[in-house]
Amino acid sequence: MAYSAKGYGKLIGMEGFGETLLKNHFTLYQGYVTNTNKLLDTLASMLKEGKIGTPEYAELKRRLGFEFNGMRLHEYYFENLGGKEAPNKSGKLGRKLAEDFGSYEDWEKDFKGTGAMRGIGWTILYQDDITGRLINQWINEHETGHLAGGIPVLVMDVFEHAFMVDYGLKRGDYIEAFFKNINWDVAESRLR
């Protein structure tokens, strides 16, 4: 069954995110969906044609990690945007953040600090599915650094395409804008 791109048009008009930037971002996301479908189809054909064991098969398998995660991480990202409320520090997620990081403020400092790291990729607040612990993690590009079995609770895109049109090199200003638009209800609903 093929994946289909979801629509995130309702995010247009979000404070701190220009329409051009968002529309370009949606187009990029759709490209990942298209390529994920293409790769899965091609790999399935190669299996039938007895092409396993070829360098072509190996490279396409590797590529799937990039395209699939590029698709799925954008879905997590767009879905955890569009909120207007401040985080509820006494809610389930707020209390868990304070428990695992010492305070909500320390979690926020660590998440923003992770996002400000040089390089392109993602910052993800993960929940370890075995212990329940919350961990902020950096992902290189789309596929390197994921925590096995980790549940993505809050996902922030820090590729340059996510902010340069509006903020130039000021990634910190983009991260502040991201925080103003987090949909905390969505993030909390991802917690186990």
DSSP character at residue 159: S
Per CB under 5 A, which region of 31-39, 43-51, 159-167, 172-180 contacts Fe ion?
A: 159-167
The one among 26, 101, 157, 183 contacting Fe ion by CB under 5 A: 157
According to the binding rule CB under 5 A, does residue 100 interact with Fe ion?
no
Tell me how far, at minimum, the Cβ of 130 lies from Fe ion, in Å: 29
In the complex with Fe ion, which residue's Cβ is closer, 109 or 161? 161
Per CB under 5 A, which region of 2-10, 100-108, 141-149, 152-160 contacts Fe ion?
A: 152-160
- Contacts with 86 (C-beta within 8 Å, 6 or more apart), sequence order: 184
Of residues 161 through 190, those in contact with Fe ion by CB under 5 A are: 162
Q: Within the chain, where are the H helices?
A: 19-48, 55-79, 92-101, 104-115, 164-167, 171-180, 184-190
Please check whether residue 126 is in contact with residue 160, taking contact to mean a CB–CB distance below 8 angstroms.
no
- Helix/strand/coil for 182: strand
Tell me how far, at minimum, the Cβ of 41 lies from Fe ion, in Å: 24
